A and B are shown apart, each in its own frame.
Chain A
Amino acid sequence: MSDVCIVGIGIHKFGRTDGVSGLDQGVYAVRQALADASIDWPQIQFVYGSSDAAGNPDTMVDRLGLTGVQFINVRNGCAAGGSALFSAQMAIKSGEFELGLAVGFDKHPRGAFNALPGEYNLPDWYGEMGNMVTTQFFAAKIMRYMHMFGISPLALGRVAEKAFRNGVHAPHAWRRHPVSLADILDAPLVSDPYTKYMFCSPAEGGVALILASEKKARELGKPLIRLKAATMRTRPAHSFEVFAPSLDVVEDDSKPRGTASRIASADAFRLAGIGPRDISVAQLQDTEAGAEIMHMAENGFCADGEQEQWLSEGRTEIGGALPVNTDGGCLACGEPIGASGLRQVYENVVQLRGDGGGRQVPGNPRTAYSHVYGAPGVSAVTILER
């Protein structure tokens, strides 16, 4: 079967853009992607659009043109963007369409995500006693992981330091100033062991990706960035997820538990026919510094516990063996849920085209990996090849 290719990319700056709705940030990204692909809106045959908190994506046809285009809204927790992309590539793979769009945007209120128990099928008392706080889960998860595999607070600091350093060179990033390791480690704790620089914030932004069949991509004369795999998976038994009043006791708790990420990753590598060692650059979900560390192992790039050495040797830096989160990831870009997974793919296309400027991975990278994970135990992975 021929590959699905990404022929156009667009992004609206992440962070805070007062006075511009989430939807309009999505429209901005679409227009940029259309221009990048040198096509016009009426040529788009179908759209999958994702947003968690900024309204129905299909209403953007008002802005872009009432062409009668097929437009399907996707809402799928933290995997919303990845799900939109997965669906878009399936529409082309099926032979039904040859040119379409995946778009994601969001605009969240300031401060921590404010979830209500009823939205998660939990009793009211759980929220009343102060447990509907996502940061508690992420902190408790890394606390256990650090205990099991000897990861230090210094390693958490190095991840955040790298994120802000990389964000300096990403025009779409929110935080574009370096923060010193000492400032990161000495900052006030939000939820131990994480200081305020080690968590990303809910944010705003929009991303658009134009997908084409290989035949169509050749007609358009675009460099072939092939989407070799796109997977979206849910959690296995015994996993530890956000908003868990309890989790299972397991027989051997000295090993890491199964996760949606492990499943999505293994399936993506199987589909692409390559392995973790073949990847030139990776964007791994880093809603907190420890997430990047755990996801290095969950996606098969290293063994549990090796991250400490990887980070001290700089192996995930731009010039390292496996550059990770080259645009600063969620830590520097913030997390607009509907757009976040698509931002990773946008960044990977930039890297594979060699357009990364000050953050460009050297050596002409040929393969790029992206991974999101989040509530309620979902993960989406993509592998691109040029």
Chain B
Amino acid sequence: MRAIAEGLFTEETPPRLVGGRDRETGRIVFPCPAGHEAVPLGREGKLWSYTIQRFRPKTPPYAGPEAFSPWVVAYVELPGETIVEARLVDVAFEDVAIGMSLRLVQAPLDPDAADPVLIPAFAPAGHAV
């Protein structure tokens, strides 16, 4: 399995997201833009806000499966670093709550694909990776 794009995750196991630090201001953003210092981001964070994507986005640009099931769009605060947008997995919609503790995982864009690409996602902290 491979990541949806190069440079999003570190090569270690388990991986981390690669952010970019502005060399002048110290501001950290995700993903790492050209010219920024690449910095691995923390794996643990808290849910800052979220919504549930209830309809299939238009293709292009969406490259997910034809068959649609809703997913959680999350903004996750990585303390002292940045707030990243990612999917939320392994949690029922009614259990999603702002402030909940989360940890980084990789999730398949298409769970039914033979060789799915992996996207940034978070799962409730303590959940098995």
Contact = CB atoms under 8 A, between A and B. Distances in A.
Interface of A: 111-112, 114, 116-117, 123-125, 127-133, 135-136, 139-141, 143-144, 147, 188-193, 244-249
A128 B61 contact: yes
B111 interface: no
13 contacts: A114-B58, A125-B5, A127-B62, A128-B109, A129-B87, A131-B73, A135-B51, A143-B49, A143-B98, A190-B54, A191-B51, A192-B51, A246-B29
A246 B62 contact: no
Contact of A136 (B51, B61, B78, B119): B51
A116 B31 contact: no
Nearest to B7: A123
Measured as residues with beta carbon below 8 angstroms from the partner, the interface class of chain B is 35 or more
A127 B61 contact: yes
Contacts of A188: 54
Given A129-B64, A246-B19, A249-B77, A191 B85 contact: no
Contact of A128 (B29, B51, B62): B62
Interface of chain A, main secondary structure: mixed
A245 B31 CA distance: 7
B8 A125 contact: yes
Contact of A246 (B49, B79, B84): B84
Given A125-B4, A131-B85, A249 B80 contact: yes
Contacts of A248: 27, 82-83
Nearest to A238: B27
A343 to B, nearest CB: 26
Given A144-B48, A246-B30, 20 more contacts: A117-B61, A125-B119, A127-B63, A130-B57, A136-B73, A139-B51, A143-B49, A144-B49, A188-B54, A190-B55, A191-B51, A244-B85, A245-B31, A245-B85, A246-B31, A248-B83, A249-B78, A249-B81, A249-B82, A249-B83
Contacts of B71: 130
Contact of A140 (B54, B75, B84): B75
B60 A116 contact: yes
A144 B98 contact: yes
A102 to B, nearest CB: 32
